[in-house]
A and B are shown apart, each in its own frame.
Chain A
Amino acid sequence: MVEPVRHKKIAIASGKGGTGKTTVAVNLALAANRELTLLDCDVEEPNAHLFLKTEWNARKPVKLRKPVVKSEECISCGRCAEACKFNAIVVAKTAMVFYELCHACGGCSLICPTDAIEEEEREVGSTRTGICGKLTVADGYLNVGEPQAPPVIAAVMEHYEPSLPVIIDAPPGTGCSAVETINNCDFALMVTEPTPFGLNDLELSLEMAEKLEVPSAVLINRSDLGDGDVKDLCSARGVEVVGEIPFDRKLAEAYSRGIPAVEADEHYREFFSVLYEKITELSK
């Protein structure tokens, strides 16, 4: 019997925002020129869809459990507040819940001796799925005012299909959102730029990937602007620089019109197709 293939989850990430994650993710997915899944996990600002003419065919709400205290049954014993690791519930004269702090773990309702805590559902965001040529595309939206992106990111990740290669546009930074995404991936391509900001944030994201035990490589965007410090950092840390994209006005113009680089210039189709093969090999 043949073992079913499980394709590795490849994240396109960066510590600094605006380095070109989405550009790289979208163009890699298109240049691969095969059936592939593209997941946009930047649920606070999903933008991969701006470059793709996706035919959306499903939307799914992402819901979290929400503890609601029935005051007539609450005996103000305070055990829910003691159990809550997020300080989201407190018992003053009556129990008070702060939903913006709640991680929906369900601990308070489990521990309540009088079953005074009921769990209702509330929508915190949604995911969409659709088709764009050979690509299956999914992205997520965190509702305005909601502070926690990870549950929506996890819902986008559920659209990973092991039999297909997958490219994941990760959220920027090294916070909860980035950790939630990278931690669930097998490989991270860090996109950076050769500037002091790019350098500082690249170092942070390489450290994060190392802690999460996710192997990574670096792509330098606008590689002819700035200095050589990013390359020095990579060689000092033993991280491979798998590609460089020099600044190109034509690329910026295409981007501003929502045209993917691979469609604007054959040169980029070649570049991203080679890069796709390279990182597929590296992630094995």
Chain B
Amino acid sequence: MKVVVTSTGPDLDSQLDERYGRASYLLSVDTESMEFAAHDNSANMKAMQGAGVSTSQSVMDMEPDAVITGSLGPKAFAVMQNTGIPSYSAKGVTCREAVQMLLEDKLQRIDNAGGNKKW
């Protein structure tokens, strides 16, 4: 299975980035071999607007089976629903731990847009 994880750094032991659209990196991880490719997300991160929308486009291009991030804003959530790719929420863990938790079925599926909750 291929999983995309939003990451604060370019490797698996980096902390997961809870921000989706403005994540520093997107890690595309093969869960069998744990081989991964790091995609620099800085162009989307610095977008004036629509960072979640454009990050979703980058994620789609990687054709993953699942996405792990903190939460999704309303637009990104709508896009990810449209793609049919399931997304999962993880907090305070490394990307490696997040993938492990997904494999152990310990992550919550994101079923609503929660990006603006704190406001």
Are these two chains actual partners, yes or no?
Answer: yes
Chain A residues at the B interface, C-beta cutoff of 8 Å = 78, 81, 86-88, 90-94, 96, 98, 101
A98-B79 Cα distance, complex, nearest whole Å: 10
Closest 5 pairs between A and B when the two form their complex, measured CB to CB: A87-B50, A92-B82, A92-B83, A87-B54, A87-B53
Contact between chains at A96 and B79 (CB < 8 Å): yes
What residue of chain B has the Cβ atom nearest to residue A91's Cβ?
B57
What are 5 contact pairs spanning A and B, CB under 8 A?
Answer: A78-B57, A90-B54, A93-B82, A98-B50, A98-B75
- Tally inter-chain residue pairs, CB-CB below 8 A: 39
List the A side residues contacting B60 at CB < 8 Å. 92
The answer to whether A87 and B84 touch (CB under 8 A), given A92-B56, A92-B79, A96-B79, is: no
* Bound CA–CA A218/B49 (angstroms): 34
- Identify A87's interface contact among B47, B80, B82, CB under 8 A: B47
Query: Does B99 make an interface contact (CB < 8 A)?
Result: no
Q: Does B45 contact A (CB under 8 A)?
A: no
Q: Please indicate which of the listed interface residues B53, B54, B60, B80 has the most CB atoms of chain A within 10 Å of its own CB.
A: B53
- Measured in the bound complex, the distance between the Cα atoms of B87 and A153 in whole Å is 41
Contacting residues, chain A, for B54 (C-beta < 8 A): 87, 90
Contact B57 A90 (CB under 8 A): yes
Residues on B with C-beta less than 8 A from A98 are 50, 53, 75
Q: Is the interface of B mostly helix, strand, loop or mixed?
A: helix
Q: How far is the CA of A101 from the CA of B51 in the complex (A)?
A: 11
Q: How far, in angstroms, from A96 to B47 measured CA to CA in the complex?
A: 18
Query: Contact residues of B with A, CB < 8 Å?
Result: 47-51, 53-54, 56-57, 60, 75, 78-80, 82-84
Q: Which residues of A contact B56 (CB under 8 A)?
A: 90, 92
What 20 new A-B contacts, CB under 8 Å, besides A90-B53, A92-B60?
A86-B49, A86-B50, A87-B51, A87-B53, A87-B54, A88-B53, A90-B54, A90-B56, A92-B56, A92-B82, A92-B83, A93-B83, A93-B84, A94-B82, A96-B82, A98-B50, A98-B53, A98-B75, A101-B50, A101-B75
Residues of chain A with a CB closer than 8 A to B78's CB:
96
Nearest residue (CB) in A for B55 is A87
A87 / chain B contacts, CB cutoff of 8 Å: 47, 49-51, 53-54
- Of A90, A91, A94, A101, which contacts B49 at CB under 8 A? A101
Q: A86 CA to B53 CA in the complex, in Å?
A: 10
**CA of A86 to CA of B47, assembled, Å:** 8
Bound Cα distance A96, B80 (Å): 11
Closest-CB distance, A105 to chain B (whole angstroms) = 14
Q: Which residues of B contact A101 (CB under 8 A)?
A: 49-50, 53, 75
State A91–B54 Cα separation when bound (angstroms).
Answer: 10
Q: Give complex CA distance A101, B84 in Å.
A: 23
User: What's the nearest-Cβ distance from chain A to residue B5, in Å?
Assistant: 20
Minimum Cβ distance to chain B for residue A145 (Å): 14
> Residue on B with the closest CB to A93?
B82
A238 to B75, CA, bound (A): 47
How far apart are the CA atoms of A91 and B82 in the complex, in Å? 9
Q: Which residues of chain A come closer than 8 Å to B53, judged between CB atoms?
A: 87-88, 90, 98, 101
